[in-house]
Amino acid sequence: MGVRTGKAKAPIIEVFTITGAQRALSQEQTGRTRRYLISMGIRTACVLGAIVVPGWPRWVLIAGAVVLPYLAVVVANAGRENDEPGELGVTVQSQTALPRAESFDSLQP
């Protein structure tokens, strides 16, 4: 019996993915939450700016503070139908080779 000194290469297995699959619901919800919070941050800046800034920019900031909540809710509640495909998270798992078994005949008494 010879001893193998190198590692055997695992056969390359082709992994098929579904390209039209949508992102996971948790990923989509995280993205919608992030967009909503960014919009509310801008609204807060508009409210604070309207308190400090005089003249016609004040009215622009007030309009932004009034309109942004509506737009933020509409964007946050947008359905999944327009969602782009996401990553499926399919990764190639490494497989280690089993040690070579001795011959069956040599194991017989």
- Could you read off the pLDDT of 5-33 as tens digits, one per residue? 556 676 777 766 666 566 677 777 888 88
Q: Which tens digit of pLDDT belongs to each residue from 38-95?
A: 888 999 999 999 999 999 999 999 999 999 888 888 877 776 655 555 555 556 667 7
Rounded to two decimals, the pTM is 0.51
For residue 98, being part of any structural domain is answered with no
Tracing tokens 């700016």 back to the chain, one arrives at 49
For residue 86, being part of any structural domain is answered with no
CA atoms of 63 and 99, how far apart (whole Å): 72
For residue 37, being part of any structural domain is answered with no
Residue 2 has pLDDT above 90, yes or no: no
Cβ-in-10-Å burial (0-12, 13-18, 19+) of 31 comes to middle
For residue 58, being part of any structural domain is answered with yes
Domain containing 59 equals: 43-81
Query: Which residues neighbour 40 within 8 Å (Cβ) at sequence distance 6 or greater?
Result: 68, 69, 72
For residue 91, being part of any structural domain is answered with no
Domain count, the chain: 1
Largest CA distance in the chain: 102
For residue 24, being part of any structural domain is answered with no
